[in-house]
Amino acid sequence: MFRKLLATPNDWTLTLLRLALGIVFFAHGAQKVLGYGFSATMGFFTNMMHIPAPFAFLAICAEFLGGIGLIVGALGRIAAFGIACNMTVAILMVHSRFGLFMNWTGEQKG
């Protein structure tokens, strides 16, 4: 079973899916790191959302570096795991209350 989990299928569909998800998460991570600025995003996560700084840092890294990892194909399973953990927390903390689309302040449904 473990061998089947680590098997790499020879299918272009999964490669295209990996690239598409990598581009989406890289864009969102780059917005947090380069767009708003790393310190502004950290400030928002820690002050407004009350996320501890180490977890806020991991969330930013998961999107930015995880997206790069998926695009390049380096450590894809680790990158996907980090992104999956990040998105699970985002769903539970934010999107369960406000829906899939929300405004930046997170005070009302988008």
What digits encode the pLDDT tens for the residues 55-110?
999 999 999 999 999 999 888 889 999 999 999 998 888 777 777 666 656 565 55
Residue 8 falls inside a structural domain? no
Residue 82 falls inside a structural domain? yes
What pTM value is reported for the model? Answer: 0.79
Residue 48 falls inside a structural domain? yes
What was the pLDDT predicted at 102?
A: 62
Residue 77 falls inside a structural domain? yes
Residue 109 falls inside a structural domain? no
| Mean pLDDT, residues 27-45 taken together | 93
Q: How many CB atoms lie within 10 A of CB 20?
A: 12
Residue 90 falls inside a structural domain? yes
Residue 105 falls inside a structural domain? no
What was the pLDDT predicted at 84?
A: 95
Which residues form the domain of 69? Answer: 14-98
Domain count, the chain: 1
- Closest to 58 (Cα-Cα) out of 77, 37, 32: 32
Residue 25 falls inside a structural domain? yes
